[in-house]
Structure 1
Amino acid sequence: MKLDRLIWGILLLFIGGVLLLENFGVIDFYWRTVWRFWPIFLIIAGVNILFNRNNSQTGNVISIAVLVISLSFLFVKGQQRPSNSWFGKHFNKDMDINIDDDDDKDTAFNRLNLFEPYIAADSAKKTVLNISGGGISFKLDGETSELINADIKKRHGNFSLKKLVTDSATILTLSMDDRRNKWKFSDNGNDVDFKLNKAANWDVLMKLGAGEADLDFTDYKVRTFRFDGGAAALDIKMGDLLPIADVIVKSGVADVKIKVPTNAGCRIKTKTGLSAKDFEGFEKLSDGVYETSNYKTSTKKIFINLDGGLSNFEVERY
């Protein structure tokens, strides 16, 4: 048997076994904890490439040993509750929470507010919001009378908000410059709580090296949401204020949860490699294509394209 097939087979057995044990309640597995160690998969791939060409028995043994040790490490780490469970699936019901002390436990940050005023004359144009950075937790935190208002807890890096107006669009760029921490999942990263104006027509384009994003677009006119991430956790909720909306997600190692309204017809196209998929309420039409039963008859439609290497994709209706 070829080494690469054996390695992919072991990886599939590992992922399937973990999902099965979790579904039956045998273990609590926190995928967010595993995403922090995503470079391990680069090591596994590198060892496979290095020894696959030699086709020697010793090389095969080394490759399998590295794989088994790495997966064992991830299996143990994955059962450890994340210290920052903002995106966690499981919560400790016995945990005591003191809200008043929230700012006292970590004072090593600076507060920053960035905003752009709303101009009614530009409301007919589309508004493009480009977000980029890494090691950041993003949260859409309600509406504002401004076009955008961002409250930032900055622990590292430099943030900027720039505006460009063209004949057809208003383009906003919210970015962080910090190459050193771009790919770090850290409990002491930057927090960005931002508000958007509900009157604008939005295209949201996000590039996130490593980090988290919690975006509830229910009350916003979002025509396109595009996400390009490495090791990230993404939770978005789409609304039905527009007749057509596109959601495009490209990820490396990510935990992606998408919610869509039941009255909107939805189609999913996937190119997901070894990723886990859970599309409750969807019918599989062909390999990689799924639809809701009301897709053809609904006047509101949402198109979802998912492209991921080793990710967890969930789409549910609400």
Structure 2
Amino acid sequence: MKLDKVIWGVLLLFIGGVLLLDNFNVIEFYWRNVWDFWPVFLIILGVNILFNRNNSQTGNIISLSILVITLSVLFVKGQQRPERGFWWNDRGNHVNIDMDDDDNDSDSNYSKLNFSEPLIAGDTLKKTILNISGGGTSFNLKGETDSLFSADVKKRNGNFALNKTTTDSVNTLTFKMQNKNNRRGWSIGNGGNDVDIRLNTAPIWEMHFGMGAGQIDFDLSNYKVRTFNFDGGAAELDIKLGDLLPITDVNVKTGVADVKIKIPTGSGCRIKTKTGLSSKDFTGFIKVSEGLYETPNYQSSTKKVFINFDGGLSSFEVDRY
């Protein structure tokens, strides 16, 4: 048997075994821990090219030995809970996502900004589209406001802008970070930007998030959210949905991310996945077919949540509360 087939077979067995153990909660595996070891596979490829021309038994043994040792180290390393996660943004820059929730009030290397859009007559009857984008930024929903939208920013990089357009039936708010000239790596919570957002609870919201690397923590249980779309690279997404509308659509597309979604127990939910090598934890769901999951009350419930996951190497978790 050719060595390259053996190597691919061992790799697939390793990845499949880790995903299986992770899905059944036998282990908790953090894929972000293993990315720094990717050059080892170039070494294995180089050894294979050098020795395989002469069908060298020594070369085969060296390649397999390096692979087995590497996978053993990765298996141990991947189970260590990271104090901080290291990712790559869409420009190839190193991004440090701080996993520590402690506030660093001693850091004075930032400027404070405030953005607000007032609530005017008729806004509560309109659908409101909220577009948010920005890299290296932590977005947190801090509660309600009498305005339509407000944001308190601790800015360490880039510039922020808030724009509003309106029609007879729709308000569109665009809150985005512009960072065309800054190519440095960012650290969320310790060198990145922090944005505390407050939203009015009256409108029906349609939310769109786009970011290369970042963090979103939104408790939307008291908001009427019709649509929540997220398109991100290396990100952490933690949202909690309510049941104030008959239907809520959630679409999540990620590269390498940690995604957690909470839904009400009384809402019927259907999940469709296209997740590659991602891990999935859908407690309380029934697997209907490959890539399709439903709650037991999906058919009978008058409130429904539809979730679509599309991810490369991510962790997807949906809990009911």
TM-score, with length taken from structure 1:
0.80
Where does residue 103 of structure 1 map in the other structure? Answer: 105
Of the three residues 11, 32, 35, the one matched with 1:35 is 32
- Equivalent of 1:85 in 99, 102, 106: 99
Native 8 Å contact 2:221 2:240 kept in 1: yes
Alpha-carbon displacement from aligned partner over 1:79-126 (angstroms, at most 9, x marks no partner) = 255264356xxxxxxxxx8x8xx522x111111111111123132221
- 2:259 is paired with a residue of what secondary structure? strand
**1:228 to 2:231 alignment:** yes
In 2 relative to 1, CA 45–189 (structure 1 residues): closer, same or farther, beyond 3 Å? farther
Q: Report how far residue 230 of structure 1 moved.
A: 1.0
1:5: how far off?
4.0
- Describe the shift of the 1:54–1:81 C-alpha distance in structure 2 as closer, same or farther (beyond 3 A): closer
User: CA offsets, 1:249-285, max 9 Å, x none?
Assistant: 1111111111000111111111111111111111111
Change (3 A) 1:138 1:190: same
Task: Give the whole-Å Cα distance in 2 for the aligned partners of 1:63 and 1:185.
Answer: 37
CA distance 1:18–1:239, change in 2 (3 Å): closer
> Is contact 2:272–2:309 with CA below 8 Å preserved after alignment?
yes
8 Å Cα contact 2:243-2:267 kept in structure 1: yes
The equivalent position to 1:306 in structure 2, one of 305, 309, 314, is 309
Question: Displacement, 1:50?
Answer: 8.8
Aligned to 1:6: 10
Structure 2: runs of 5 or more not aligned: 85-97
Q: Retained in 2: the 8 A contact 1:202–1:222? A: yes
The corresponding residue for 1:169 is 170
The CA RMSD over aligned residues, in Å, is 3.4
Structure 1 stretches lacking a partner, 5+ long: 88-96
What one-letter code is carried by the residue in structure 2 that aligns with 1:143?
A: E
8 Å CA contact retained: 1:35, 1:231: no
**Cα gap change, 1:80 to 1:315, in 2 (>3 Å):** closer
Moved >6 Å (runs of 4+): 44-55
- Larger Cα Rg: Structure 1 or Structure 2? 2
Counterpart for residue 259 of structure 1: 262
Aligned to 1:92: none
Whole-Å separation in 1 of the counterparts to 2:133 and 2:64: 36
Partner of 2:212: 209
Change in Cα spacing, 1:165 to 1:7, as seen in structure 2 (3 Å) is same
| Amino acid paired to 2:17 | L
1:54-203, aligned counterparts within 5 Å? 56=52, 65=66, 69=70, 72=73, 75-76=76-77, 79=80, 81-82=82-83, 84-86=98-100, 102-104=104-106, 106-178=107-179, 180=182, 184-186=186-188, 187-203=190-206
Question: 1:3·1:48 contact (CA, 8 Å) conserved in 2?
Answer: no
Distance 1:163 1:294, change over 3 A: same
| Structure 2: distance between partners of 1:287 and 1:110 | 49
Classify 1:293/1:78 alpha carbon distance in 2 versus 1 (closer, same or farther; 3 Å): closer
CA distance in 2, matches of 1:61, 1:290: 44
TM-score by length of 2: 0.79
Question: How many residues are matched?
Answer: 297
Counterpart position of 2:275: 272
* Distance in 1 separating the partners of 2:259 and 2:185: 17
